[in-house]
A = this chain, B = another copy of it.
Amino acid sequence: MTTGRIEAFSDGVFAIAITLLVLEIHVPEDPENGLGAALLDQWPAYASYVVSFFVIGIIWVNHHAVFDYLKVADRPLLFLNLLLLMFVGLLPWPTNLMATYMQEGGADERIAAVVYSGTMAAMGATFGALWIYASRHRRLLGDTLSAEEIRRRTVRFVAGSPLYTLSILVALVSAPACLALNALLAVYYALPAGGAMAHRRVT
């Protein structure tokens, strides 16, 4: 199995999961106070659509950045990647959960936020594991990256785990704050720090 094959399949799952997110935004039926009020009421659906869209988009970018450095693929990588895709493909569900319960208040709202953050955390941890597996002793890497560059990426991808754990703790207190923290984490992984996305190439 070439890495190109795995990338093409992964791209398909990323593109479908990102586009299925729209199914969580409902069309209000028989709104009592008019459609306008009903549409404003479901702002959590828009907020979680935007956050989840960019999270998947940014994981897709980082996924390519990692696969660009791989020289070969082996079976454990294949299964770590399948595990990662399982969490990516799952994301429309916690997004829907968040959209439904973020306006409810009480324990249910925080439980929804914990599930949302938990899925993100699982996705981040799998991504970190995939990177460590591939880069440890340059197992699947070529010589493109220096030891220092590998180390910086490792710090960056492993830093996700404590940060996502923090977001689960925040979810226990406030769902909107948890969503905002997840948006911030997306911005962090979108920034070129660590160089994971800093390369620019001619087609």
A: which residues have CB within 8 A of B? Answer: 1-5, 8-9, 11-23, 25, 27, 29, 31, 34-36, 39, 49-50, 53-54, 57, 60-61, 64-65, 70-75, 78-79, 82, 85-86, 89-93, 96-97, 100-101, 107-108, 111-112, 115, 190, 192, 197, 199-203
A14 CB to closest chain B CB, in angstroms? Answer: 7
A203–B93 CB distance below 8 A: no
Pick from B5, B39, B112, B202: contact of A111, CB under 8 Å = B39
Pick from B19, B70, B71, B107: contact of A13, CB under 8 Å = B19
Closest to A7 in B: B5
Q: Name the B residues within 8 Å of A86 (CB-CB).
A: 50, 53-54
A12 CB to closest chain B CB, in angstroms? Answer: 3
Q: Name the B residues within 8 Å of A82 (CB-CB).
A: 53-54, 57
In the assembled complex, the Cα of A200 lies from the Cα of B18 at a distance in Å of: 31
A15–B18 CB distance below 8 A: no
